[in-house]
Chain A
Amino acid sequence: MLPFARAIAIRLNLLVTACGLCTPLLAEEPAAADASAAVDMSLEDLLNVEITSAARKSQRLNDVAAAVFVITREDIERSGATSIPEALRLAPGVNVARLANNRWAVSVRGFNSRFSNKLLVLMDGRSMYSQLFSGVLWEVEDTLLEDIERIEVIRGPGAAMWGANAVNGVINIITRRARDTQGNLLVAGAGSEESAFASFRHGGTAGDGHYRVWGKAFSRDESVTPEGHTANDYWRAGRAGFRGDWTMGGGHRLTVSGQAYYGPSGDTWQVPDIRSPAGVTLTDVRQTAQGGFLLARNEWTLQGGSEAAVQAYVAAGELEVAGQFKEQRTTVDLDFQHRILLGERHDLIWGLGYRYSRDDISSGGMISIQPQKQGFSLASAFIQDEITLLPDTLRLLLGLRLEDNSFSGFAPLPNARMIWTPSVNQSLWGSASRALRVPSRAELGAQVDGSVIPPRSPINPTPLPILITNFPNERDLGNETLTAYEVGYRHQFAPALSADVALFYNLYDDLRGQTTGTPRLVLAPPPPYILQPVFPGDSLKARTYGVEIAVDWSPLPWWRIQPIYSYLDLHAWSKTGDPGSLLRAAQLNDGDPQHQWSLRSSMTLSERQQFDLWLRHVGKLGDPGSPMYVPAYTTLDLRYAWRPTRDLEVSLVGQNLLDGQHPESVASLLPSRNLEIQRGYYLKAKWQF
């Protein structure tokens, strides 16, 4: 439920939330002595002045009472990232593990897996969260990277503002206004892993507004198995979209956007097979995703100066893994939001939302999802008051969201935050909040063959194979809940040096574990086997704490250095002695790196040349011997860009340069093979005309 998230996001989270307090950071700085040099310039000259200001970003963030990191379009461009999940590596506290060339596991503050279900991801106010898996299918959701204005990564629960499933974080992808993307843009490139890619965009005017239309297509190379054999994880995709922004009579601002996509991608599954001596049959599968959405939003200012917005979207998509399942889904979402300033002290926002999602899932093979058709509805109401206790110094934010959904019923989501700004260049904030995750459609209705234990093996001395099958829960499955405490501190030491530190302590309850059922003998159809059922249950608890540090430093006007560090300590345990639950807890304990750091250096060598370096380290997952074990890795990306003219840029990017191949995670949920990511390079040209 994300009420006009795009429009409001930065204002709510970065400005509005902030500004009661904010005497901006540099207010006390005297104007530089040579200011006259700038003010005497002509408009034409001013338009050509290169601005370097590392301070700007942190300055806007200084007044936000949450752990927020903003990835700008320039950051994405200079990182060399070619997809949204790769760009998310830029933010602290985010764990991005590439499972294959077409699949990622992305999480914030722990519980990483391909279907990391505690993270809400939105693009321009549209939820990218899959109802089926309760996670984001990063190979399905995408846009033109050049159209992204910024990505706001909000660590910690955002449920009071953004709704259920915003448990560990919210990622808010905001695209540029149509009037900021006028003219034509052509991007094309090729490389070793990025086999070929091309994008085109055209922006123009229409009536009292602007529009853009765009298209992109790419084909990616396969990655490799640990033994170095080529894997079956090809990925091709085509996508087209548009956006238009208009100013209407009466101060109404209308935005309409839409997208259509089609993309096949490959995978190899280890399908459990009771006939096979090894217990699995390697099966190449082809996943096809297609669909689109249409979104409209209207914002206006009411008499009296309060602001309102209404947004609606329809999304329809089809996801098919040939021979396994095919999901067709249509979602309708409606949101309203109203912001009122009451006197000098209260900044009040309230809103209402409704979503209805209907699916039709046919399944076969190792997966069976029942019932075939199901609807999901979600109604919500929220209110948040930002109270200025001491002008420019102390603010209190109180928020409450009430949600009612057809899977798990009614739930209140409260949140309290406080921010203290003792001086213009530092701030200290703290929060306490509650969030929850709603069970997914698959958890409630999917029967999936998990694995086969072959006969006469160490753990199965019987003459019959054991088939472990995940069944849907026989009773109602509840929400996973989180109670979270956070504190953060930001300091702008100098115009070119700032630091941001956040600490958190999270307590989870009713996390998804397993209950082991009674085994039974299945004789028909032959061959006979022992069926061991397991059911999902809310049998796990967990505690996490950690710290995230981000520093932004420009030692020289043309050189910027951004180190980040994240520490996470996750401990999960089972409330029962059930072996399935104990196993699941062990998997959670081994699923995330304890340490992660990265160092970015961005050099603007001249008006025509840029040189960027990005060194990353991700700590080990689990210990050697654990099925989840992945060794620590350190890798390096380099980018060199040259602009022969102002409108043409040619860049050469090298990725994962420190080794030939390395694993980043192990497969979970779906029985994909473990694959490794290879060194890659690509050459890209970007032309604006």
Chain B
Amino acid sequence: MRSSLCSWLLLFGCALAPVTQAVAQAAVTEAQAKAGFVLNFARYVEWPERAFSAREAPVLLCLLGRDEVAAALAALDGRQVQGRPIAIRRLANSDEARSCQVLFIAESEARRLALTLRAVAGQPVLTVSDADGFIDAGGAIGIVRSEGRLQFEINRLALEQAQLKASSNLLRLARNLADFKGRN
């Protein structure tokens, strides 16, 4: 029995031998990566002109709920997208969301998802969340985790109803659309 165990451990040892060094992880947290996704969504989605009050009006990125993703998003304040600066606004409730261009709903707000989405229905608001099943609930873009990586899903019907146009690049990379295969 013992010798058999030893040969086992040896076998695993050999398998590990070529591993010279454990991989060094890039210092990107999940929250930062999600913020990176949101910034990219803001770059690749076109709003109708009426969504903005003035030519130089900022892109209003509203945050509902508080978690580390919302904290990472707050760091986007002042960045430029589509020739406009990003302005961050933290919301206390969904009633204030109608004037936003991007609405990020933190997972902590998932229980009020239906109410929140109803509050912005028909408005040119890009809704984004990492809550479970976000696009099923009627959200526009959901950030999901799979195999240790982040991906995103697009609800084209929701974009259409919000009069938003997503670039083909964005649609091409969405996990649930186009030619995505495997990876799950």
Contact = CB atoms under 8 A, between A and B. Distances in A.
Interface of A: 7, 10-11, 15-16, 18-20, 22-27, 29-32, 34-44, 46-53, 56, 60, 74, 176-177, 179-185, 210, 245, 247, 251, 253, 301, 305-307, 341, 347, 556-559, 603-607, 609, 611, 638, 640, 642, 646-647, 652, 654, 657-660, 679, 681, 688-689
A43 B115 contact: no
A660 B35 contact: no
Given A39-B75, A49-B33, A640 B27 contact: no
Contacts of A251: 138
Contact of A52 (B5, B25, B106, B107): B25
Contacts of B44: 43
Interface stretch (B46-54, B96-104, B144-152): B144-152
A689 B184 CA distance: 10
B67 A27 contact: yes
A507 B112 CA distance: 38
Given A43-B37, A46-B33, A24 B111 contact: no
A15 B134 CA distance: 13
Interface string B26-63: 11111111011101100010000000000000000000
20 contacts: A7-B133, A11-B111, A16-B110, A18-B111, A19-B111, A24-B65, A31-B68, A31-B72, A43-B40, A46-B36, A50-B149, A51-B30, A56-B145, A180-B146, A556-B22, A558-B22, A603-B22, A604-B22, A638-B8, A688-B183
Nearest to B67: A24
Contact of B23 (A10, A40, A301, A605): A605
B110 A182 contact: no
B25 A37 contact: no
B91 interface: no
Given A37-B28, A43-B173, A183-B184, A23 B37 contact: no
A43 B35 CA distance: 11
Contact of A689 (B39, B74, B181): B181
A439 to B, nearest CB: 38
B111 A347 contact: yes
Contacts of B82: none
A202 B78 CA distance: 45
A56 B67 CA distance: 11
A24 B108 contact: yes
Contacts of B111: 11, 15-16, 18-20, 341, 347
A654 B33 contact: no
A334 to B, nearest CB: 22
Nearest to A19: B111
A29 B74 CA distance: 12
A301 B25 contact: no
B29 A605 contact: no
Given A36-B75, A688-B182, A179 B169 contact: no
Contacts, number: 221
Interface magnitude class on chain B: 35 or more
Nearest to A640: B15
B76 interface: yes
Contacts of A607: 23
Given A24-B67, A49-B28, A183-B183, A40 B4 contact: no
B23 A38 contact: no
A15 B107 contact: yes
Contacts of B67: 24-27
A301 B137 contact: yes
Contacts of A177: 133, 136
B5 to A, nearest CB: 6
Given A19-B110, A36-B75, A46 B37 contact: yes
B110 A15 contact: yes
Contact of B19 (A181, A183, A609, A659): A609
A50 B12 CA distance: 25
Given A74-B147, A558-B23, 6 more contacts: A40-B36, A60-B107, A182-B182, A182-B184, A556-B22, A652-B11
Contact of B36 (A41, A611, A660): A41
A27 B66 contact: yes
Given A11-B110, A183-B183, A34 B27 contact: yes
A210 B175 CA distance: 12
Nearest to A22: B108
A609 B144 CA distance: 23
A18 B67 CA distance: 14
Contact of B169 (A11, A43, A51, A654): A43
B131 to A, nearest CB: 7
Contacts of B114: 301, 305-307
B176 A210 contact: yes
Nearest to B169: A43
B181 A183 contact: yes
Contacts of A37: 27-28, 32
B23 A606 contact: yes
B84 interface: no
Q: Pick from B19, B108, B157, B182 the residue with the most CB of A within 10 Å.
A: B108
A177 B134 CA distance: 12
B150 A47 contact: yes
A46 B43 CA distance: 14
Contacts of B144: 180
A245 B68 CA distance: 31
A605 B18 CA distance: 11
